[in-house]
Structure 1
């Protein structure tokens, strides 16, 4: 547990730096662009993240899962890089289709469509989960945190320059694109120092030959990652499609501030997954303890959002964004629930039950997206936030039930221990 908490400390430290800097660039973007301009900016960012989320694979998990073999991470890293190339190809086609269709269903001006397509391509070329996997395999969480800190720093600098020299949606998108490239470059440089990157190992065949269940694991984790994107970025796009750019911008601000806990949940998940893979026998106890600790943190964070949230919104984004206070609080509660469930979901994936984790996440997410229009007709942004809350609650409840069921089955099939004297 000592190494786990140390690794979580590195990740949370990085998230803390990111959170502080994100307040700076969020304030610059919202106050410079206003509600409508920030809404268009939020829709382009959501498009780029949707494309990368749907097309990319959770390659860091593959490096961690198969890279610890006796022959080292070479084959696993080569497989992950081959999947990254496949992601770029598939994602480019998906980006072209989504941006072309955006003029039909998204409130984006036509002159921003090429900018949106360019941002999608940059996001695809800046995929970085493979070098993150190499660093996590060697438990170099400090190095990964240092490299990932490049992104918010470049965003702050870029947002400041955009606010002064190019105070438009284009200026801020260029700043975000530069940050994507910079953080990807930093991670690949550090990963190459840690492990030799052998391009001759790039292959989609070697790992599946060694591990017959490889493709099932690949597609299960990919679909789970896609669902996470659907629950966040696709939600922003649909809010914009239903309610317009201003509501999309408001939902983006509420989500970024209210769901900061989701980022903590992702940090916990990323830190605990390698530990669960390497310590299967102690995995259940480790995940349970982390869930209990996370519950305390979630309660404190939601309390903070209730007391200081309205003031924080208006201080950072301006008076116009104060109307999203209750949506932010609801999303904070959803984030607290995700924080509790992070270790449970990682436990399922680490035991080879990625497909189960996907199904448990899929049903609530699809329901939330299907009911979004009705929820917004009923209560606007608050209704949209409530669909996210319900989805998170159902998913975490499902993770808990699946783990309990698995434990009962395991206990039932294990032979009873011999009694003394037998």
Structure 2
């Protein structure tokens, strides 16, 4: 637990630095562009991140899983790099198709289409989950945090340059593309200094030959990552497609502020997953403690959004964004729910139930996307926020129910009891998870 909290502290330090920098670059973008042009910018950024997220494999989990359990870092890294190259190839094709058809469903003018495709390609070339996995395998969160600090720093510099010399949608998109490329380079440099990258190990077949469940785990974690992207970036795209660029821009700001806890939840998951893999006999205890802490943090964060949200909107955006206050509050509640569920989802994945985690996440996410049109027509941005809240709530309930039915985790409870000096219990009688 001490190492977990230390690692989480470094991750949160990075998130805190990112948040501090966003207080600089977001107002520059919103005040320079205005709500409609900012909406175009938000759609382009969301499209690039959505394509990258859909094509990208969660290779950091593969490096941690197989690098720690038998195959070694070299083979696991080679497999991860091969998957990254596959992601770039497939993602570029997908980006071309999406951009060519964008005007059929997105409010993007002709002169921004090539810019959109360029940002998609830059995002794909900046995939960096493999070096992150190498650093997390060795619990080098401090070095990863230092390298990732490059991204918000470049965004601030780029936003200032765009504001001064190129105050257009293109100027700010180029700034964001530069930040993606620079942070990827920084992470690879840091990872390569810590762990030798053996390019001869690049292969899509070596790891699957050693681990029969490899491809099942790969596709399950990829689809789970896809759903995370769908829950945020695709949601922004759909809001823009249904409500126009102004609604997309406002919803992006509300999401940036209200969904800060979702990023925190992802941070918790990234910190806790290596610990669950390395300490399987204590996995339940770790997850239970993190869920309890998350509950308290979530309540405090929602109160902060409720009482400080209007001030934050006033600080970060022009007055026309103030109408998105309640959407931001609702999204903060959804973020709190996600924060509570982060340790549950990581517990399922570490127990070899990535497929179960995917199904539990998939059904509510798809339901939210299907109902999004009705939700927006009912109550605009607040309706879209309620759709996300419902999706998050159903997913976390599903994670809890899935854990209740996992015999592997029930067994861990009896082991905890035995090691603590209590009487051994029948695994079918042990309460598997209490928070």
Query: Residue 71 of structure 1: CA displacement?
Result: 5.4
Per-residue deviation, residues 377-414 of structure 1 (Å, max 9, x unmatched): 10000000000000000001111111112159845998
Per-residue deviation, residues 250-273 of structure 1 (Å, max 9, x unmatched): 000000011111111111100000
Given that 2:282 and 2:412 are in contact with CA atoms closer than 8 Å, whether structure 1 keeps it comes out as no
Query: Residue 103 of structure 1: CA displacement?
Result: 1.1
Given that 2:351 and 2:409 are in contact with CA atoms closer than 8 Å, whether structure 1 keeps it comes out as no
Structure 2 length as normaliser, TM-score? 0.94
In the alignment, the residues of structure 2 paired with residue 165 and residue 217 of structure 1 have an alpha-carbon distance, to the nearest angstrom, of 47
Match of 2:429 in 1: none
Match of 2:295 in 1: 295
Given that 1:60 and 1:132 are in contact with CA atoms closer than 8 Å, whether structure 2 keeps it comes out as yes
Given that 1:132 and 1:191 are in contact with CA atoms closer than 8 Å, whether structure 2 keeps it comes out as yes
Per-residue deviation, residues 47-70 of structure 1 (Å, max 9, x unmatched): 100100100100000000001145
Query: Residue 419 of structure 1: CA displacement?
Result: 8.7
Per-residue deviation, residues 215-268 of structure 1 (Å, max 9, x unmatched): 000000000000011111110011000000000000000000111111111111
Match of 2:326 in 1: 326
| Match runs of 1:341-352 below 5 Å | 341-352=341-352
User: Secondary structure of the residue that 1:127 maps to in structure 2?
Assistant: coil
In the alignment, the residues of structure 1 paired with residue 7 and residue 226 of structure 2 have an alpha-carbon distance, to the nearest angstrom, of 26
More displaced 10-residue stretch of structure 1: 14-23 or 208-217: 14-23
Q: Report whether the alignment pairs 1:80 with 2:72.
A: no
Per-residue deviation, residues 6-34 of structure 1 (Å, max 9, x unmatched): 00000001100001111211111111000
Match of 2:428 in 1: none
Flag structure 1 segments of 5+ consecutive residues without an equivalent. Answer: none
In the alignment, the residues of structure 1 paired with residue 335 and residue 167 of structure 2 have an alpha-carbon distance, to the nearest angstrom, of 32
Match of 1:192 in 2: 192
Match of 2:120 in 1: 120
In the alignment, the residues of structure 1 paired with residue 248 and residue 340 of structure 2 have an alpha-carbon distance, to the nearest angstrom, of 27
Match of 1:224 in 2: 224
In the alignment, the residues of structure 2 paired with residue 274 and residue 409 of structure 1 have an alpha-carbon distance, to the nearest angstrom, of 17
Given that 2:224 and 2:358 are in contact with CA atoms closer than 8 Å, whether structure 1 keeps it comes out as yes
User: Secondary structure of the residue that 1:339 maps to in structure 2?
Assistant: helix
| Match runs of 1:240-259 below 5 Å | 240-259=240-259
Q: Report whether the alignment pairs 1:131 with 2:124.
A: no
Match of 1:14 in 2: 14
User: Secondary structure of the residue that 1:235 maps to in structure 2?
Assistant: helix
In the alignment, the residues of structure 2 paired with residue 409 and residue 399 of structure 1 have an alpha-carbon distance, to the nearest angstrom, of 13
Given that 1:314 and 1:320 are in contact with CA atoms closer than 8 Å, whether structure 2 keeps it comes out as no
Query: Residue 315 of structure 1: CA displacement?
Result: 1.7
In the alignment, the residues of structure 2 paired with residue 159 and residue 67 of structure 1 have an alpha-carbon distance, to the nearest angstrom, of 39
Q: Report whether the alignment pairs 1:178 with 2:178.
A: yes
Query: Residue 361 of structure 1: CA displacement?
Result: 0.1
Q: Would the alpha carbon gap of residues 116 and 356 (structure 1) be closer, same or farther in structure 2, given more than 3 Å must change? A: same
In the alignment, the residues of structure 2 paired with residue 339 and residue 181 of structure 1 have an alpha-carbon distance, to the nearest angstrom, of 29
Match of 1:401 in 2: 401
User: Secondary structure of the residue that 2:405 maps to in structure 1?
Assistant: helix
Give every structure 1 segment of 4 or more consecutive aligned residues whose post-TM-superposition deviation is greater than 6 Å.
412-420
Given that 1:106 and 1:241 are in contact with CA atoms closer than 8 Å, whether structure 2 keeps it comes out as yes
Match of 1:339 in 2: 339
Per-residue deviation, residues 186-240 of structure 1 (Å, max 9, x unmatched): 0000000011101100000000000010000000000000001111111001100
Query: Residue 72 of structure 1: CA displacement?
Result: 2.5
Q: Would the alpha carbon gap of residues 391 and 203 (structure 1) be closer, same or farther in structure 2, given more than 3 Å must change? A: same
Number of positions where the alignment pairs a residue of Structure 1 with one of Structure 2? 420
Q: Report whether the alignment pairs 1:161 with 2:161.
A: yes
Flag structure 2 segments of 5+ consecutive residues without an equivalent. Answer: 425-435
In the alignment, the residues of structure 2 paired with residue 380 and residue 327 of structure 1 have an alpha-carbon distance, to the nearest angstrom, of 9
Given that 1:56 and 1:222 are in contact with CA atoms closer than 8 Å, whether structure 2 keeps it comes out as yes
In the alignment, the residues of structure 2 paired with residue 413 and residue 36 of structure 1 have an alpha-carbon distance, to the nearest angstrom, of 54
Given that 2:403 and 2:409 are in contact with CA atoms closer than 8 Å, whether structure 1 keeps it comes out as no
Query: Residue 312 of structure 1: CA displacement?
Result: 1.2
Match of 1:309 in 2: 309
| Match runs of 1:49-64 below 5 Å | 49-64=49-64
In the alignment, the residues of structure 2 paired with residue 189 and residue 16 of structure 1 have an alpha-carbon distance, to the nearest angstrom, of 23
Q: Would the alpha carbon gap of residues 4 and 419 (structure 1) be closer, same or farther in structure 2, given more than 3 Å must change? A: closer
More displaced 10-residue stretch of structure 1: 402-411 or 103-112: 402-411
In the alignment, the residues of structure 1 paired with residue 142 and residue 346 of structure 2 have an alpha-carbon distance, to the nearest angstrom, of 21
